[in-house]
Amino acid sequence: MQKTRLFTPGPAAVPPETLMEIGRPTVHHRKKVFKDIYAETIEKLKEVFQSTGEVFVFAASGTGAMEAALLNFTSPEEKVLVINSGKFGERWEILAETFDLTPISLKYPWGTSASAEDVEKILEENKDIKAVFATLSETSTGALHPIKEIAEVTKKHSVLLIVDAVSGLSADRIMTDEWGVDVVVSGSQKALMSPPGMGFICVNSKAAEVYKNNPRKNFYWDLKRASKSALSSQTPFTPPVNLIVGLLSSLESITSEGMENLFKRHDLLARGTRAGIKAMGLEVFPESPCNGVTAVKIPSPDKIGSLFVGHCQDKYGVIFAGGQDDLKGKLFRIAHMGYYDEMDVVTALATVECTLKDLGERDVLGQGVKAALEVFTSRK
């Protein structure tokens, strides 16, 4: 017997309780039974977004929700600033180009994070910028962006801040209302501990004025239509009922743990993972790592780069993600966003140790695990 364990940054692990809920008979979405579930789901999502604003649920991937956000909060030809230091920052840029915006690209090397000063400088020089597109945690590199500081700048300049928190939400802190983030996008299959199939958008009152007056003609992604349906705890089109029923179970677990405890747990797991990785003599890739996923440089990439991730999966049933695009064969990524605890980190690190030995790279058996356990036992 070999168990399979998902350590990928989306889909990430899903609690069995959530899977069981998803497997319950489908209910009808226009009936009270669903409206009650949906109303509760939205309330709990607001808690997770830390916002009193509107929250919308789409049957879509996270990218669908990003597209919806862009279409509802920008008009063609508008100048926008896009922060791009990885695959998902790049996605904002491609979306902006696809839908006729005039994006200024604030590009950083993959693995680095944006600086609020750079954002401010560009906003000073381009008073006609309407919105800034940013990423909370860049899944492709494991880098965390300073959204709080960027929000201070966007507030000062009265431009909209639209953040992709697809993999970040509930793993890394984002205080939507307190920080003044205008639009936050997320997805189901990351730290929200659900299978893929749902995209979310959280909108504060300032941003609500923008979508309500947006001249683009939308249909499936139309937030005006969705907002009207939301008055009676409904979606305009048939929602992914079973996935939403499962999501509520995961959200109950998240909100009963409490957002502060959740951030603490993710911080602990991330610190333990990084300590373990460093104890093996490996290098964490990003300068400012996020708490949901740890991207690690594969040592001797020419020798074992193309084998590493496959070996972990085939021999130990542990599924890591590799690097994307130019980082293929150079990185592996360990997710610990959502349904993960200390012993999961131990499993991940032990697999890395065994694989390093199996592939003839180095023998550090037990060293990474020991370092992580020291982090875990030294917490107050």
Q: Residues in the site for its own copies, rule: CB under 8 A?
A: 4, 6, 8, 10-11, 13-14, 16, 19-20, 22-29, 31, 59-64, 67, 94-95, 98-100, 187, 189, 195-197, 217-220, 236-243, 313, 319
Distance CA 216, CA 223 (A): 11
Nearer to its own copies, 64 or 111 (CB): 64
Q: Give the C-alpha separation, 229 to 248, whole Å.
A: 19
CB of 376 to its own copies, least distance (A): 25
**Looking at beta carbons only, is 220 or 263 nearer to its own copies?**
220
- Minimum Å distance from CB 255 to its own copies? 21
Kindly state the tokens that stand for 284. 């964490």
Name which of 123, 168, 170 is nearest 145 in CA terms.
168
Quickly list DSSP for 226-254.
HHHHHTTT--SS---HHHHHHHHHHHHHH
Q: How far, in whole angstroms, is CA 9 from its chain's centroid?
A: 8
197 is written with which tokens? 């199939």
Shortest separation between residue 194's beta carbon and its own copies, angstroms: 9
Between 99 and 263, CB nearer to its own copies: 99
What would the DSSP string read from start to end of 137-205?
EETTTTEEP-HHHHHHHHHHTT-EEEEE-TTTBTTB---HHHHT--EEEEETTSTT---S-EEEEEE-H
Question: Nearest approach, Cβ of 109 to its own copies (angstroms)?
Answer: 25
Nearer to its own copies, 68 or 364 (CB): 68
| Nearer CB in complex with its own copies: 62/142 | 62
**What minimum distance in Å lies between the beta carbon of 219 and its own copies?**
5
User: Cβ(337)–Cβ(144) under 8 Å?
Assistant: no
Taking the complex as a whole, the smallest distance from the CB of residue 51 to its own copies amounts, in Å, to 24
Question: Whose CA is closest to 226, among 201, 192, 251?
Answer: 201
Q: Which is nearer to its own copies, 76 or 366 (CB)?
A: 76
340 DSSP assignment: -
- Among residues 23 and 258, whose Cβ is nearest to its own copies? 23
Burial label, 260 (beta-carbon count in 10 A; 0-12, 13-18, 19+): exposed
**Comparison of 142 and 368: residue with beta carbon closer to its own copies:** 142
Q: Shortest Cβ distance from residue 321 to its own copies (Å)? A: 8
Tell me whether residue 220 is exposed, middle or buried, using C-beta atoms within 10 angstroms of its C-beta: 0 to 12, 13 to 18, 19 or more.
middle
User: What gap in Å lies between CA 306 and CA 15, rounded to an integer?
Assistant: 31
Q: How far apart are CA 73 and CA 162, in angstroms?
A: 9
Closest distance of CB 121 from its own copies, Å:
29
Q: Map residue 107 onto helix, strand or coil.
A: strand
The distance of closest approach from Cβ of residue 166 to its own copies in the complex, given in angstroms and rounded to an integer, is 9
Q: Which is nearer to its own copies, 15 or 180 (CB)?
A: 15
